[in-house]
Amino acid sequence: MVKKVRSHITQNEPLLFERSSPGKKGYQLPDLDVPTVSAEEALGADNTRAEIEDFPEVSEVDVIRHFTRLSTWNYAIDLGCYPLGSCTMKYNPRVNELVARTEGLAWAHPYQPESLAQGAMEVMAALEAALAEITGMDAVTLQPAAGAHGEYTGLLLTRALLESRGNPRKKILAPDSAHGTNPATATMAGYAVENIKSNDRGVISPETLAAAVNEDVAALMVTNPNTLGVFEEEIRKIADIMHSKGCMVYMDGANMNALVGIARPGDFGVDVMHLNLHKTFSTPHGGGGPGAGAVAVRSHLEPFLPGPRLKRVGEAWSWNYDLPQSIGRVRAFYGNFGVLVRALAYIMAHGGPGLRLATMDAVLNANYVRKLLEPYYEIAYKAPSMHECVFSDDRQAAKGVRTGDIAKRMIDYGFHPYTVSFPLIVHGALMIEPTETEGKAELDQMAEALIAIADEVEKDPQMVLKAPHTTRTGRVDEVGAARKPVLRWKRS
């Protein structure tokens, strides 16, 4: 029987365990010219390792081919449009990589003495200053390693401030359109969560909020623009309501790509926020990142920031550990430094006017896609879109086709799907965020694919319901995987 009839893109690939062949090696050593010594006798049984059962034995080329083939199954921003709403999958400029590979930065060690780390410290100081300017805030910590980590840090800062005023309070308010991480963060920080219902325009009503705010509330967690891609126009009034009761306003900066260079959270009443450097500031995202969730605060929260903090001593940078009110470290060393270098490279390559232009392009692209698709898909809320647009699958659901089916069909057309079924307040959401990365040609192609799929839903719904057709595997058993997960390979 012929075992291989497909190119590597679609062929099946066994696990390394399954490729293993006893005694196969990827190296050659010269014959031993000294007497053999038993490690166990020489070092003691406690200090020697047992053989790992079933450890794969493969050659170098086996390993290279295995992982290279797997890598060809990936979809990446370097292959095409990646309109995953709320995730800001923008292109990672190669100049960032060049800068991050600068020898002194790439090989810097966190235990290097300050006198030999001045360049790295200057990078961090410059990034903190740039992020403070962009957000209109007073101080920034670069330690948190991801967005949710930034949220958690931000709420610990809020708790520390309120505790210093005598009462940490009990509750966090979050709109029903919030990212799922917001209520999770609040719970982790020891707060109860209260949901605020969005109004029929998809935003928070000051009246609804005012009725929910009291002296038990520590903070409001708000995303602006919110997860519908709609700007919370009453944000100034919302912040005033919170502040009048001594509450903080936390902003989830996930959607900052709609604001950079145009509006500053510090100017519209935000006390503390995080930025996803891996979204807004173009550092690698997906495939593990790693992420970076810098937190920016107004001056009243600055004394509580994680330490150590950068401090200028004469002409040099130094670490200040004398921070009596600090919440302490939230991460080892100084954050994901390599990511911070890339974010600074992005900011400096653009400059202020360039960042502003990127924001305007991101908003323009989302509105362009919205206009192209509005005749075919139901827009969820009429309010103007910022950097992303959200449709519902109402028209297609009438034919029995849901957002998840349309997303899978998009894969056949060669695009990464949009975000499916989020935000939860939209029934069957299709959430599309093109980012400023895409030019008109790519956006037109992506919209054409979605329009073609809308047509298929009318004429041949099975085509969409059974998608994807062109991938190595089609529909997988998501329910079975969740109900009876198999987490470890075992030899059958």
For another protein, the binding residues (CB under 8 A) are 180, 404, 421-422, 424, 478-479, 482-483
Residue closest to 370 by CA, chosen among 357, 380, 359: 380
Handedness of CA 136, 138, 144, 150 (dihedral sign): negative
Handedness of CA 301, 161, 206, 151 (dihedral sign): positive
Cα–Cα distance, 482 to 475 (Å, whole number): 14
The number of residues in the chain equals: 492
* Residue 26 or 180 with smaller CB distance to another protein: 180
Q: How far is the CB of 476 from another protein (least distance, A)?
A: 11
Q: How far is the CB of 180 from another protein (least distance, A)?
A: 7
Q: How far is the CB of 485 from another protein (least distance, A)?
A: 9
- B/e letters for 343-354, b = 16+ CB within 10 Å, e = fewer, are bbbbbeebeeee
* Residue 100 or 217 with smaller CB distance to another protein: 217
The 3-state DSSP class for residue 198 equals: coil
Q: Quick one: tokens of 488?
A: 């470890």
Q: How far is the CB of 421 from another protein (least distance, A)?
A: 5
Q: Which helix (H) or strand (E) holds 358?
A: helix 337-373
Q: Where are the beta strands (DSSP E) in 228-349?
A: 248-252, 272-274, 295-297, 309-313, 316-320
* Residue 236 or 475 with smaller CB distance to another protein: 475
Q: How far is the CB of 205 from another protein (least distance, A)?
A: 19
Q: What Rg do the C-alpha atoms of the chain give, in angstroms?
A: 26
The 3-state DSSP class for residue 434 equals: coil
* Residue 4 or 483 with smaller CB distance to another protein: 483
* Residue 52 or 482 with smaller CB distance to another protein: 482
Rounded to 5, what percent of the chain is helix, strand, coil?
Answer: 40, 10, 50
Q: How far is the CB of 427 from another protein (least distance, A)?
A: 8
Q: How far is the CB of 265 from another protein (least distance, A)?
A: 28
Q: Quick one: tokens of 67?
A: 């992982």
* Residue 202 or 423 with smaller CB distance to another protein: 423
Cα–Cα distance, 416 to 76 (Å, whole number): 8
* Residue 159 or 171 with smaller CB distance to another protein: 171
Burial class (CB in 10 A: 0-12, 13-18, 19+), 233: middle
Q: How far is the CB of 174 from another protein (least distance, A)?
A: 12
* Residue 418 or 422 with smaller CB distance to another protein: 422
